[in-house]
Amino acid sequence: MVKVLIVYDSTYGCTERIAQTIGRALDPTQQVSTVRASDAKPEHMVGVKLLIVGSPTQGGRPTQAVQEFLKAIPEEGLLGVAVAAFDTRVPARWVGIFGYAAENIFDTLKKKSGIPVMPPEGFFVTGKEGPLKEGESERAALWAEMLMTAMARSGRPRANG
């Protein structure tokens, strides 16, 4: 069994829906915990083999709660831990100038010695307060399945492999 931790923050509920969808879509034989960043404690990280972090994009960055969670991870604190990142974002050209939260999260996870499983992913909302664009929940479930496949291919521990 692989211990998976999904840490997220959500302002209007869209990122929380994506995090919950990812958690449900992962192999049910895995031990999956989904925790809001402000509620994440060091003991949540014990034994984690896959850490997934998500946030809404705010000014090209993750929310303050996600930034604080990431800052609390010690240097090299993710040695041997597979990592992935996602965000929710508005499909607008000007947002591309500042970047997206997922890329910033992903870079921080790698700096903390996390092992990248897949590139960061963005899920689209129709406006600042949502809702999610049609099909994004299904795409999040597919992304979760792709994460587990990528872990299996890389030789990372899996319940059945």
Number of domains in the chain: 1
Query: Which range marks the domain in which residue 93 is found?
Result: 3-153
Report yes or no on 127 lying in a domain.
Answer: yes
Mean pLDDT by 10 residues, the chain (161 residues): 92 97 89 96 93 94 97 95 96 71 97 96 92 97 94 61 32
The answer to whether 30 and 2 have CB atoms below 8 angstroms apart is yes
Q: 92-111 pLDDT, tens per residue?
A: 665 557 789 999 999 999 99
Q: Is this structure's pTM higher than 0.75? A: yes
Quickly tell me which residue has 């890329």 as its tokens: 103
Q: What is the pLDDT of residue 107?
A: 97
Report yes or no on 160 lying in a domain.
Answer: no
Task: Tell which residue, 108, 42, 50, has the closest CA to residue 75.
Answer: 108
Report yes or no on 161 lying in a domain.
Answer: no
Q: What is the pLDDT of residue 135?
A: 97
Cis omega (within 30 of 0) for bond into 120: no
Report yes or no on 23 lying in a domain.
Answer: yes
CATH of the domain at 68: 3.40.50.360
Q: What is the pLDDT of residue 93?
A: 65
Q: What is the pLDDT of residue 109?
A: 98
Task: Tell which residue, 53, 52, 77, has the closest CA to residue 63.
Answer: 53
Report yes or no on 159 lying in a domain.
Answer: no
